[in-house]
Chains A and B, each alone.
Chain A
Amino acid sequence: MSDVIIRAEKLGKKFQIGHQTARQENFREAMIRGPRNLLRSAVDLLNGRSVIAGDVIEEFWALRDVDFEIKRGEAVGIIGRNGAGKTTLLKILSRITEPTEGRVDISGRVASLLEVGTGFHPELSGRENIFLNGAILGMTRAEVRRRFDEIVDFSGVEKFIDTPVKRYSVGMYARLAFAVAAHLEAEILVIDEVLAVGDSEFQARCLDRMSKVANAGRTVLFVSHNLAAITALTRRALVFAGGHLHFDGPIETAVAHYAATLSKSGDVRNWGQGQNATLISAALLDAEGRPTERYEPGRPLCVQVVIETVGMPGMSLELLLRDELNLPLAYYTSAVFSQVSLPSKPGRYECRLSLQPYYLASGEYCFDLKTTYTNVHDDHRVDNALRFVVDNCSPDGVAYDFKQGAGRGVFAMKLEKPLQFSMLPPSDGQAAAGQGAAAPETD
């Protein structure tokens, strides 16, 4: 059972992106350019070529020179930063898009799950959507009918199975959608980051299900930013960086390589040395204490810093949280806020900071790290030492992706007590408010 089920050779995918040059042009130029572009588009249309908006066309390789083999029954993780080419690879393997160069040989039926609930229709009931989604994912009606009870059971929405899914909560919707996909029958299962939905109990159930699939001798390709999940499910991983296959091998080594690609993409990578206390490395940790790139708002923000100190007393460790625009958001200094200095015995230390939960908006953030002497003199300073991403922010369990970039700020405000409305008598409303405002003066 060690035959190769997927083999990719020199695989590459090129995209063309059009840019509009932001050049001021006068009316006459626009008049000339208009028809010329129109003519170009018309020629492209007749030849069946794709037309790209903009006057500068740039080629961009989302994936290039990728070779790998995957054996039957193997579970392989695919990791890499955003834009590293992971999703493009999955799209090629699941035949959504075709490669520009190279080839892939696949011998087996591929079921791909790039999104849960693809094609779900809000007006249809849960039952109807199971059949619809099943058909979209390539199941026959007989297959769905055979596994229907199992699917409903797994999803835990049996009570609402005949309710239109538009009345479902976000969690129920996600559970039903994953339940259908989890029961796909195929030799090869290709899964993109789909576990970012649902509560942690359901996520655990999904992981359990996926490890069952992997252990049942089926081939699983699994993309995730959740390194804990990947480590638990797979023994081998492909690490992508900038469209190239950066590393292919055992999962533990792969995670280390992934961390290397992460740090390489930062701005300052030569961390250098401090006089008295040197910052060696930093990582964001997930709930299990494994390095991660994602922060889930509402959990303690766990940062691990490795420091080497010569034992100078009065040294402080400082953290500065910045957002995508590099604006400082929050500050921490150990010597003042916690009244803890770096150890006075020379050596290399691991320091774990568990910061109070923040409800950070989705986006990218980074920490600047610093060791200082008496909080005044910088000893060793590393800007951009630790980058992390927030996928979406859900203060009360409802994933509503308010965007920081949309001018809605950096944090979600979470209520301490439930929101209350007390109705005021209609006519006295204003008077009461006026009295309230006046109260401090009379006091």
Chain B
Amino acid sequence: MAVTIVFLGPLRDMAGADAIEATAPITWDGLLSAVNPKVAEQLRDDRVNVACAGRVLADKTSLNAQDGDEVALLPPVSGG
């Protein structure tokens, strides 16, 4: 099994994919190197959130995704 990294909103265009798979476990540093440099730069923006296994992380740098977890990269929302 692996970790699935899901790109939401404009990050999907930057990543050029809806999702990618990466080898577990994935930490913050691992996440930054698993995505392309453009997405990694966005991830460092405070307004971009990270969710793991359906929960938004209060501190995204504490990411520790295990086998089977889905990690979602959440850019700022643009409203309903």
A is bound by B: no
Tell me the B residues contacting A by CB distance below 8 Å: none
